[in-house]
Amino acid sequence: MPARKTGNAGNAGKAGKTRSLRRRGTVVAALACTVALLLVGHRLVPNRVWRLGSLLEAFLPWIGLAVPVLAVAALIRRSRTAAVAVLLPAVAWAALFGGRLLPGGDGPYDLTVVQHNVAAENTDPEGTAARLAATGADLLAVEELMEPATGVYERVLGGAYPYRARSGTVGLWSRYPLADIRPVDLKPADVHEYWKRGVRATARTPHGDLAVYVVHLPSVRISPASGFTSARRDESAGKLAAAIAAEPQQRLLLMGDFNGTLDDRGLAPVTSRLTPARAGFDFSWPAGFLLARIDHVLCRGLTPVDTWTLAATGSDHLPVAARIRF
């Protein structure tokens, strides 16, 4: 007669299976703890090698996508340890970004502003300019103004916005008079060609004067050889921060394409001095598959009430609008 399986053998099999599930749950738990550490301690990731810290911060909100994946893995493993560990990155993400899921402000405001990188390769500058004019904003900040499209923007916007300030490839159109117009030097030291991407003007609004800066910081790239190449952008951000620190006007409005998110430590010299107009995620680039908010409106001596992105134009960026209160 065949030998019967003993109870001890059955129990041993169950115990082995439980240990296997626990081991597999440990891997999920370890991954969950790693994600939580990256979220909470992203500033500790060094920038010396390939600027990995800035690269992580450029897409920091997207790390939250790991949470549902890890939660499903914990359920499959049937591991309580893994399930509890998954709560760590979930709480960390909620603490960092949960507030952005709340609706924007709807309080009183005094100005509406729009910031837009119109893209040098834009094939419909006239349509883009018409959409900007149709926003009814009090101030329009525009980057990547290139000939011959610049003349189109000047013609289309000139009717509703009689006052203009321009330096190189950036411009400001205003319903209110502009004074003290001058370029802002943001040129990196190793750039030797013509390069003007910053302008400053004083807007004489009915609510008082304010300094308005329009900037376009250098582009960043990702390559296997050099990693996240943001050195030029960070250098320009340092120059911009110095200009802001020296600005005598108490009220200041900064608009532009920063080529970086507000979480990126490379922009900290600027972002640490100003209050961002930020509500929700409102990713602005690339227009066809939105990944990050790199177009920003920031204030000093003013209160941002709300911000949002507008419909796509012929650019690879979305326009960003904000309401400002004095």
Q: How far apart are CA 186 and CA 320, in angstroms?
A: 22
Q: How far apart are CA 187 and CA 190, in angstroms?
A: 8
DSSP 8-state assignment for residue 206: T
Peptide bond just before 89 cis, omega within 30 deg? no
pLDDT per residue, tens digit, the chain (326 aa), is 555 555 555 555 555 555 555 566 899 999 999 999 999 999 999 988 888 999 999 899 999 999 999 999 999 988 889 999 999 999 999 999 988 877 766 789 999 999 999 999 999 999 999 999 999 999 999 999 999 999 999 999 999 999 999 999 999 999 999 999 999 999 999 998 889 999 999 999 999 999 999 999 999 988 877 788 999 999 999 999 999 999 999 999 999 999 999 999 999 999 999 999 987 888 999 999 999 999 999 999 999 999 999 999 999 999 999 999 99
260 φ/ψ angles, rounded to the nearest 5 degrees: -175, 160
- Residue 40 pLDDT: 94
**The residue type at 13:** G
- Residue 292 pLDDT: 94
- Residue 211 pLDDT: 98
- Residue 258 pLDDT: 98
- Residue 82 pLDDT: 92
Q: How far apart are CA 153 and CA 118, in angstroms?
A: 10
Helices 66-77, 7-40: axis angle to 10 degrees equals 170
- Residue 250 pLDDT: 97
Residue in 222, 226, 310, 217 with CA at minimum distance from that of residue 261: 217
From the CB of residue 147, how many other CB atoms can be counted at a distance below 10 Å? 9
Residue in 243, 233, 188 with CA at minimum distance from that of residue 213: 243
- Residue 275 pLDDT: 96
Query: pTM of the entire structure?
Result: 0.88
- Residue 14 pLDDT: 56
- Residue 25 pLDDT: 84
| Ordered domains of the chain (ranges, CATH) | 7-101 (no CATH), 111-325 (3.60.10.10)
Residue 139, both tokens: 């101030």
Complete edge-to-edge strand list for the sheet that includes strand 320-325: 163-167, 170-174, 139-143, 111-117, 320-325, 303-309
SS3 of residue 171 by DSSP: strand
